[in-house]
Structure 1
Amino acid sequence: MNRFLRFYLLYCCFNLIEIIVYTIYAKILIKYYLNLGVKTPGSVIYGITGFFFGNFVSFTAFSYAFLALNHKALLLYLYFTVFIFLYSALLLPYSVKPYLVLGFLLPLVGEYFFVLKNFDLYARKIIFQRNKKLGSNLKLKRALNVSENIIR
């Protein structure tokens, strides 16, 4: 397996760990409110739904950015990942079991740093594809200049 695909596989593993731990946390949180005998607050349901929606959008955006070499989808991934992290970190002091929140925040931070550390692996390809589409391929320009000099 080449480095490019190994990187994407590790990214998917980070994302899977986040989803599993957050699902456990959501289940414990809903059971906590049911054991209290109160209706689950709307903010809790909003937080759970928001996390899964944000995680789905960020995973889809990064997959599209990585596989289709699209730089706009990469920006969307970065935006949603930072938003999920900030929202979860702000709710950390008020959570029922904070160690579970850290259980999905740490893989999120690890995933983010992993993506930024290996940014050059796929960013070069994205920039090259964009330059190729725009017609600013430096090798092609040099070849045209050389051929013009030979013709003259």
Structure 2
Amino acid sequence: MASLPCRAASETAVPVSAASCQRAGIARTPATEPAVLLMDEPFGAVDHLTRIQLPRDLLALRESRRRTVVFVTHEVGEAVYLADRVILLSPRPGRVYREFSIDVPRPRRKGDIELLALESEIYQALSRSRSRRRRGCEL
């Protein structure tokens, strides 16, 4: 689970980093027992090492609590690594452009050839989506 930095009770309060806030948010999720967990760009404002750890924390939480997670991200690799399905939205107005099923068994390893192939397929669809929009086609 999320490992949060500890401070002695006698220390004065200090500002908490964005990374610590994100970890705290993930760590307190089990307390509320939500049926669906909505995460909108949760790893965007964190340092590199925390960005590596937070997806592991999220997957551990998902496995232990068996909750549905709706995860919004602009990072295709992150989506493919974490998700069972990836929904690609069209540019304005946002509509479902395409759905991808991620049928790669867990645990997954970043860099696996199957995940990279799916990333490539999604990037190709993104390119098609953007080029259709530039030509003025309705998606």
TM-score (ref. length: structure 2): 0.31
Name whichever structure is richer in helix by fraction. Answer: 1
Which of structures 1 and 2 has the bigger CA Rg?
Answer: 1
Question: Which structure has the higher relative contact order (CA within 8 Å, separation 6+)?
Answer: 1
Name whichever structure is richer in strand by fraction. Answer: 2
TM-score (ref. length: structure 1): 0.29
